Amino acid sequence: MMARSSVKMMLATVLMALCYAHLSWATQYFVGDSEGWVPNKDYTAWVNGRTFSIGDVIIFRYEKGHDVAEVYQDGWFECRADNPIFYSKNLDTYVPLEKTGEHYFISTGPGDCHAGMNLKINVA
């Protein structure tokens, strides 16, 4: 019979392996592909054909003067980020998708959102 500590060690090892396997299933998406997060790009077309899941990461790459904010639906429709869920101006912004449903992103720079720097995704 195995000692209790051996069983606990084996269970911990199996649990760790499952966690690492889950991480390897996650997909990283570079928003806008090689063009990045830029004005005058059709991000609705970019989303088509992609399936986003919990654990995936979306990566926004943009130049100085731009930013990314996750906003509520009304903020997305109105291109405003009065009370953002998330905000970054790090030039490379990694956003882990941690909950299902619709997620809305905009750039808050002058005219950016109206110039197409807005993204809506659905996480399954």
The domains located in the chain, with CATH, are 27-123 (2.60.40.420)
Distance CA 97, CA 50 (A): 14
The helix (run of H) or strand (run of E) holding residue 87 is strand 86-88
Supply the pLDDT for residue 63.
95
Torsion of CA 22, 118, 100, 18, to 10 degrees: 10
Residue stretches of the chain with pLDDT short of 70: 1-24
Supply the pLDDT for residue 25.
78
Mean pLDDT of the chain, nearest integer: 88
Distance CA 18, CA 70 (A): 30
Give bridge partners of residue 61 from the DSSP assignment: 92
Supply the pLDDT for residue 46.
97
Supply the pLDDT for residue 18.
47
Supply the pLDDT for residue 15.
47
Torsion of CA 80, 86, 89, 91, to 10 degrees: -120
